[in-house]
Amino acid sequence: MTTKHLLPVLSLPEDLRESLASAAGPVYSGERFVDEIAATPCGGVACIGDFVSQICLSALSRRPDTPLLLVLDGKTRRESGVATGVPEGFKLYQARSPPGHLSLEVYSLVCSAIEGGGRSAVVVEGEEDLAALAALDCGSGWTIVYGLPGVGGVVVHNCLRKPGVGSSGIIAFKPGVVRLKA
């Protein structure tokens, strides 16, 4: 058996789907959302999603030295064709993660990019939504930003949380593999 086309993943158990749909922190919209990102007290900002990443880039435009991670999949609300390009000067990573799963590839890249600081972008083939869990796990000194479609943006200042509080819940995910198309 060849492992060439197998992707190690963590799968979201059905019984956790509803609880993970709730926000891991306060939800903001409009100018308050932008202001909360711009005023981050943390050492870096991880922005998950194409629309959210555009807002982060705008909010942090006057703070070019702030470490920043963008995680993109070229879609907003599951619609392709979003034109969020990777800004000049960002280190680019590419990874795969099928819908409903968090690939270990994406998890590792998100954590490595946060640990390395600087400005990076992870472009995901598939779906980037669950990458927020990796950022919450690895970004203890960072602000984590992600969207709740139709509701607003979640901003979690992980640097202000007590250690061990607000676990991402990823420990309950099921390890497995997904067969990729050749």
Cβ atoms 136, 163 nearer than 8 A: no
Residue 16 within a domain:
no
How confident is the model at residue 38, as a pLDDT? 97
User: Residue-wise pLDDT tens for the chain (182 aa)?
Assistant: 445 678 999 888 888 777 777 888 999 999 999 999 999 999 999 999 999 999 999 999 999 999 999 999 988 765 555 556 789 999 999 999 999 899 999 999 999 999 999 999 999 999 999 999 999 999 999 999 999 988 999 999 999 987 655 556 777 788 889 888 76
Q: Is 80 exposed, middle or buried (0-12, 13-18, 19+ CB in 10 A)?
A: exposed
Phi, psi of 99 (to 5 degrees): -55, 140
Residue 115 within a domain:
yes
> According to the annotation, is 52 in a ligand binding site?
yes
Residue 181 within a domain:
no
Q: Side-chain half-sphere of 25: how many Cα atoms within 13 Å? A: 24
Cβ atoms 85, 34 nearer than 8 A: no
Residue 37 within a domain:
yes
In the structure encoding, which two tokens stand for residue 93, read together? 């990573």
Three state DSSP letters for 35-102: HHHHCCCCCEEEEECHHHHHHHHHHCCCCCCCCEEEEECCEECCEECCCCCCCCCCEEEEEEECCCEE
Number of domains in the chain: 1
Residue 111 belongs to domain spanning? 26-175
Phi, psi of 136 (to 5 degrees): -65, -35
Q: CA-to-CA distance for 114 and 149, rounded, in angstroms?
A: 25
How confident is the model at residue 43, as a pLDDT? 95
> According to the annotation, is 50 in a ligand binding site?
yes
> According to the annotation, is 75 in a ligand binding site?
yes
Residue 82 within a domain:
yes
Query: 144-181 pLDDT, tens per residue?
Result: 999 998 899 999 999 998 765 555 677 778 888 988 87
Q: CA-to-CA distance for 165 and 75, rounded, in angstroms?
A: 31
Q: CA-to-CA distance for 88 and 15, rounded, in angstroms?
A: 41
Q: Which residues, 6+ apart, have CB-to-CB distance to 59 below 8 Å?
A: 34, 35, 37, 38
Give the CA diameter of the chain. 54
pTM of the model: 0.90
Residue 1 within a domain:
no
Residue 74 within a domain:
yes
Residue 107 within a domain:
yes
Amino acid letter for position 20: L
